[in-house]
Amino acid sequence: MSEAPRIVVLPGDGIGPEIVGATMRLLEALGEFEFDERLLGGASIDAYGTALTDEVLEACRAADAVLLGAVGGPKWDTTDPDAPRPEQGLLGLRKGMGLYANLRPVRPSPALIGASPLREERIAGTDLLVVRELTGGIYFGDSGREGDVAHDDCEYSAAEIERIARTAFEAAERRAEASNHKPRVTSVDKANVLETSRLWREVVGRVAPEYPGVALEHLLVDNAAMQLVSRPADFDVILTENLFGDILSDESAMLTGSLGMLPSASLGADGEPGLFEPVHGSAPDIAGKGVANPLATFLSAAMMLRHGLDRPEVGGRPGGGGGHRRDDRRGAGGDRRLARAPGLRVYPDRGST
Ligand code: IPM
Ligand code: MG
């Protein structure tokens, strides 16, 4: 990788430009980065009539990493199946960049415990990672509408399930190394009803013996949704398919009290660029007022440094316990500027996620 990593920056819509702007300033204080700013989502629809142009997809594929704000807003809301929608830009990027693994770490910050709708004793000790399959399932199956009838097909292949299962088991191993607990993967499906889920359960079970140190449990998605709020601290890694992961990750976010604190990394094949974005949306109601919270984007940039740019030495512990570990600083060598940067005291990520 060159001295200055090339980052395609996609501010998107609503509060996107504000939170991404603040994150670029933070990154500039930490080291040298080459930013290539492009349009995505509604902004791209307005300029080009499509949410993602071929040029932007190509630029993203050729970058070292992609940093995204958020897409969407009432201006582009429509139920017309033929009209372009901002979300198509995001989905096109995920598919076009082969980003099949979405990692969403959830760890309540001590300062925000009171903001969670759940009682403190219930969320105490919560530290989980949602591993969501991102390029398959109902999001990308055949869909259509004929008159009053619409359909969205859900399809998964064993190969797609296998690779995301490996991501989850490996993440569980890494997390256990970093914090000394017994690793566990909870695979979430709807195997009592769906054929894709029965295949999912079978394949995950087949991959599990390759990771003998990691315990595996299966949960039905309705039960998982309930357990997430009743015993969140018992989860370690939650492995699930695209649609269930979308829903469960928003539910998990509320354990932290704020969707505004959740980062995410979307990763593809080894050596290919990843995409880093906050889990929250474009919040059009507060856009342009200078009140948007950029922390989830900061935290996504931290995941980018670790997972996308191989700069894990800037790691620290999240809220409170944070700061930099002496050994990490020493190990940083020529990157001392990065390692010393005060901004990364908010760094949420540990070697684990
Ligand atoms: C997310 C979002 C997206 C999704 C939308 C914006 C298409 O909700 O990243 O979770 O459904 O995946
Ligand atoms: Mg979502």
Give nearest CA residue, ligand 1 atom 11.
Answer: 246
Q: Distance, CA 218 to ligand 2 centroid (Å)?
A: 22
Tell me: the pLDDT tens digits for 14-64?
Answer: 999 999 999 999 999 999 999 999 999 999 999 999 999 999 999 999 999
pLDDT beneath 50, residues of the chain? 1, 315-353
Q: Which tokens belong to 346? A: 């908010």
pLDDT of residue 207: 98
- Ligand 1 atom index nearest CA of 249: 10
One-letter amino acid at 265 equals: A
Helix locations, 124-233, DSSP H: 158-179, 195-207, 221-230
β partners of residue 215: 184
Burial class (CB in 10 A: 0-12, 13-18, 19+), 83: exposed
- Of 212, 239, 255, which residue sits at a domain end? 255
pLDDT of residue 11: 98
Q: Are 296 and 112 in contact (CB under 8 A)?
A: no
φ, ψ at 126 (rounded to 5°): -70, 130
Model pTM score: 0.87
Residue 88 inside a domain? The answer is yes
Residue 136 sits in the same domain as residue 236: yes
Number of alpha carbons in the 13 Å side-chain half-sphere of residue 92: 20
Give nearest CA residue, ligand 1 atom 4.
Answer: 246
Q: What angle do CA 175, 91, 188 make, to 5 degrees?
A: 45
- Of 255, 273, 297, which residue sits at a domain end? 255
* Ligand nearest to the backbone CA of 266: 1
CATH assignment at residue 156: 3.40.718.10
d(CA 110, CA 98): 35
- Ligand 1 atom index nearest CA of 91: 7
Give nearest CA residue, ligand 1 atom 12.
Answer: 246
Catalytic residue numbers, as ranges: 139, 190, 222, 246, 250
- Of 220, 255, 290, which residue sits at a domain end? 255
Query: How much of the chain exceeds pLDDT 70, in percent?
Result: 88
Residue 107 inside a domain? The answer is no
pLDDT of residue 2: 52
Q: Which of 8, 58, 55, 11 is nearest to 35 (CA)?
A: 8
pLDDT of residue 161: 98
Give residues (CB < 6 A) around ligand 1: 87, 90, 246
The range of the structural domain enclosing residue 154 comes to 117-255
